[in-house]
Amino acid sequence: MLDVLKNQRTYALVGHGGCGKTSVAEMLLYVAGATPKLGKIEDGTTVLDTEPEEIKRRGSVQPGFATFQWNKNRHFLVDTPGDLSFNGDLGYILASVDAVIFVVDAVDGVKPLTKKLWQEVSKFRLPTIFLITKMDRDRADYDMALNGIRNQLGVKPFLQNIPIGKADTFAGVVNIVENKGYAFDSSGKMSEIAVPADMQDEVDGLRESMMEEIAVCDETLMERYLEDPSSVSLDDLVAATRKAVVCSELYPVMVASGLKCMGGQRILQAAQLFFPSPLDVPVGQKMVEAEDGSLHPVSPDAPPACFVFKTLFDQFAGQLSIMRVLTGTVTPEASLLNVRSSAKERFSSMLFMLGKDTQPCKEPVGPGGIIAVAKLKETKTGDTLCEEKHAFAMLRPKLPEPMISYALAPAEKGDEDKVYQAMSKLLDEDVTLRLTRNEETGDMLLSGMGQSHVENAVERAKRRYKANPVLKAPTIPYRETLKGKAEVQGRHKKQTGGRGQFGDCWIRMEGGARGAGYEFVDAIVGGSIPRQYIPAVDKGVQEAAHRGVLAGFPVVDFKVELFDGSFHTVDSSEMAFKIAGSLAFKAACEKMKMVLLEPIALVSVSIPDEFMGDVIGDLSSRRGKVLGSDSTAGVTEVQAHVPMSEMQEYAKALGSMTGGQGAFTMAFDHYEDAPPPVTEKVVAEYKAKRAKEE
């Protein structure tokens, strides 16, 4: 088992949407002999993009998983989506791999989304190889991409390879460490060649710099290098490079063309040489941190534990729980405790994945292995499975909050339960989706990381579960408030032949500061209203305020002082005073000025500098107030306060303005007075809805 683990590699492909990750993954699988032919996104023949929505979009909407052999060594590969709408659970994936191949497009270079993804990868301090791909394309610019890695991502690149040619002349690479050239052909094969004569001077200079960079990471090697550079062998350089990469002190840079299958062998060799095994650590013994802060050693001999980091649906096997073996050794007949649900889960089998295909795993799997287990009854994404006597829950990475919500309704009345059940099943697969009900508006809300994310979930529900949900813009959670003061009476008197109803109260009501909330003051003296009825007045006011006055939205930020009233010894009751409180509130609202409040979001937009003017102009057209902007290495971050009602279609608008290079986050910030046109529109819609219901 130790020999197997020593040469095992578990890594993820990460990069912005369209940078070529899936093409690189297809190349690696083909070169390794895991697939008989090279799949292409344009033809819909890739192994890892298998969902109909992925083939239609020509882009990943969920992670793709592949287990394959390279030179008799097992590799576990995860191809992650590059669109921010579909990679909200990236933290779970990064917590489940040992290294990253970070893909940068040679045509577009580093984008704002690239920067955000690198920030996420950096949190996990994972050993990383940067791969500049699409080197065969027109406008491919290696130096531009390299400078983006250096200046925009803040990474000091270690030049493992430099390209021979570019665009239609891209033919191979020069390996700086080995001081050798390698030529590629379209079949994925590679042959050793001499370093091109016109590149030799450049290679010599880079090699000297490279040796100094490696030596800096190894004091013993540095001493030898300073005394006699010729005493440092190639094996010394490779060993020192591996140590520095594992410690995240060096970040090798490589080049390739996934579409033309050029460079796959070099990438696999580099992954095998420089990426850590599951047992390798920068310092000391590798540990797994639990939620309670305890640490658990990673060893094939430790009690087994697994982390479920993704759930997928398979049309034949049903629900598949994708998990990393954290520690210990797991067998196909394992029976482990789900720490969250306290359920004992028995594995009927273990599976290795290659896209949508699965292969039974009949041998034990140790730390770092990624396996799929079908039909676990009480297990969800984020759960830890382990031995009951050594139970712990792994500390889970924090997931981002959903950015956008849509109201969900059935296309036909009476299908509400069917729609709800279908969408609930999707929540098991995608932990970044939320399904809630807004008690205030009655809307069933589907929340996700972006418009595409939500729309894709609806398409899957229609295709898989024959439900027919319809997306609508959610009801904006406006509020109402009051300005001024009023002193009014609320009197409820009803006689029906038996015991009557009587409640009488006087209140002073005034508007409060924004965010002050509701305040009720009991100023009754002399027993004009008995103590037991005073809370009923308060409740009557609150219930009436919740129903709203202007447009049916809750009234907030006001103060009520109950100072007088009267009662009847027989006819008074809590219900009578509750109604009296409600009547008093409505009477005060008629005397005071009612104001509609609209929710304002804090919006942060990341775009290349050249789009700043367009983006700021668009935010202003949405009644936004720009708070400031900050530019770093060609990327501008704009912050603004924007009404939430103006942000429903912003994702599409930003994509159109920036050619897909923009990204934004949005969170509720505060309420402000709505301008008269907005108030008039909202009130008119409310009255029309009421008239229709009546």
Q: DSSP of 311-361, one letter per residue?
A: EEEETTTEEEEEEEEEES-B-TT-EEEETTT--EEE-S-EEEEETTEEEEE
Q: Tell me the average pLDDT across 554-580.
A: 95
Other beta carbons within 10 Å of 17 = 20
Per-residue pLDDT at 285:
57
On the question of pLDDT at 445 being above 50, the answer is yes
User: Residue 463 corresponds to which tokens in the numbers above?
Assistant: 């295709």
Residue pair 176/160 in contact by the 8 Å Cβ criterion: yes
Which pLDDT score is estimated for 283?
Answer: 43
Q: Name the residue type at position 372.
A: A
Say how far apart CA 237 and CA 230 lie, in whole Å: 12
Tokens of 567: 């009662």
Residue 285 has φ and ψ, to the nearest 5°, of: -95, 135
Please give the residue that has the higher pLDDT: either 667 or 563.
563
Report helix angle 264-274 to 234-246, nearest 10: 80
pLDDT, mean over the chain: 89
How far, in Å, CA of 202 to CA of 146, rounded?
16
Instruction: Round to the nearest angstrom and report the end-to-end CA distance of the chain.
Output: 74
- Residue 236: in which H helix or E strand, if any? helix 234-246
> Which three-class secondary structure state does DSSP give residue 73?
strand
Residue pair 61/427 in contact by the 8 Å Cβ criterion: no
Q: Region 164-183: what's the mean pLDDT?
A: 90
% of the chain with per-residue pLDDT over 70 = 98
> Chain-centre distance of CA 654, in angstroms?
19
- CA atoms in the 13 A half-sphere facing the CB of 656: 6
* Nearest Cα to Cα of residue 332 among 319, 317, 350, 346: 350
φ/ψ of residue 605, rounded to 5: -115, 130
Q: Pairing relation of β-strands 318-327 and 305-314?
A: antiparallel
Sign of CA dihedral 148, 150, 151, 153: positive
How do residues 581-618 score in pLDDT, each as one tens digit?
999 999 999 999 999 999 999 998 988 888 999 999 99
**More confident of the two residues 55 and 548:** 548
Q: Is the pLDDT of residue 652 over 90?
A: no
What mean pLDDT comes out for the span 396-404?
Answer: 83
Q: 446-461 pLDDT, tens per residue?
A: 888 877 888 888 888 8
Burial class (CB in 10 A: 0-12, 13-18, 19+), 580: buried
- Residue 183 makes CB contacts below 8 A (sequence gap 6+) with 164, 171, 172, 190, 191, 192, 193
Tokens for 211? 């040796």
Query: Phi, psi (5° rounding) for residue 404?
Result: -150, 145
> 440 pLDDT band (50/70/90 cuts)?
low
Distance of CA 563 to the CA centre of its chain: 53
Helix (H) or strand (E) holding 607: strand 593-608
Cβ atoms of 329 and 304 within 8 Å: the answer is: yes
When mean pLDDT is compared across 121-130, 253-262, 270-279, 424-433, the lowest value belongs to 424-433
pLDDT given for residue 321 in this prediction: 93
Residue 681, pLDDT > 60, answer yes
Chain-centroid distance of CA 74 in Å reads: 29
Strands 172-175 and 180-184: antiparallel
Comparing CA positions, the residue from 299, 287, 303, 304 lying closest to residue 350 is: 304
User: Is the model's pLDDT at 28 over the cut of 90?
Assistant: yes
| pLDDT score, position 284 | 45
pLDDT at 665: 79
Pick left, alpha or beta for residue 165 (phi over 0 → left; psi -120 to 50 → alpha; otherwise beta): left
Q: What domains, with CATH codes, occur in the chain?
A: 2-204+237-274 (3.40.50.300), 287-390 (2.40.30.10), 404-472 (3.30.70.870), 479-591 (3.30.230.10), 598-678 (3.30.70.240)
For residue 413, pLDDT over 80 is answered with no
Question: Quick one: DSSP state of residue 658?
Answer: H
Give the residue-averaged pLDDT of 71-94: 90
- pLDDT level of residue 282 (50, 70, 90 thresholds): low
Q: In this structure, what DSSP letter does residue 265 have?
A: H
Q: By percentage, how much of the chain surpasses pLDDT 90?
A: 53
Counted residue by residue, the chain has a size of: 694
Least confident of 88-92, 263-267, 308-312, 314-318: 314-318
pTM above 0.85, yes or no: no
Q: What's the whole-number mean pLDDT along residues 667-681?
A: 92
Tokens (6 digits) for 380:
């969800």
Task: DSSP letter for 303, please.
Answer: P
Mean of pLDDT values over 33-52: 83
Distance, in Å, from the CA atom of 444 to the CA atom of 364, rounded to the nearest integer, reads: 45
Lowest mean pLDDT among 44-48, 333-337, 482-486, 592-596: 44-48
pLDDT, position 680: 94
Token digits for 681? 């529109």
